[in-house]
Amino acid sequence: MSLTQKERMLYLRVEEVLHYMWDPIGIAGVPQARDEYESYAPKVFDLVRGTTDGKDVAAYLSWVSMDLMGQRPDPDGDSAVVEALLAWRDYLR
């Protein structure tokens, strides 16, 4: 898949927001763990590009953190992450 420059910038922002803001397992301060959430970035990136209200993005983040990582639900945190992701998407359009 070939991405435009703006899409590449958005993808990088998705990775950064997942690591520094979403961070369900609390590793944002560990430089060696920078790649911990990389496997979720492609799906989040696709969802962010196609969403209208972000609910699907929040649902995916919630599912990953609860079902795959065994964390407690954090709807407020997930909403804040989605707001940041959508703000980056809209800024980079």
Contact 45, 17 (CB under 8 A): no
Residue 23: which pLDDT band, with cuts at 50, 70 and 90? very high
HEC string of the chain?
Answer: CCCCHHHHHHHHHHHHHHHHHHCCCCCCCCHHHCCCCHHHHHHHHHHHHHCCCCHHHHHHHHHHHHHHCCCCCCHHHHHHHHHHHHHHHHHHC
Residue 1: which pLDDT band, with cuts at 50, 70 and 90? low
What is the overall mean pLDDT for the chain? 97
The answer to whether residue 83 scores a pLDDT higher than 90 is yes
Cα atoms in the 13 Å half-sphere on the side-chain side of 48? 30
- Residue keyed to tokens 């959508």: 86
Please compute the mean of the pLDDT values over residues 43-63 and round it to a whole number.
98
The answer to whether residue 25 scores a pLDDT higher than 90 is yes
Q: What percent of the chain has pLDDT over 70?
A: 99
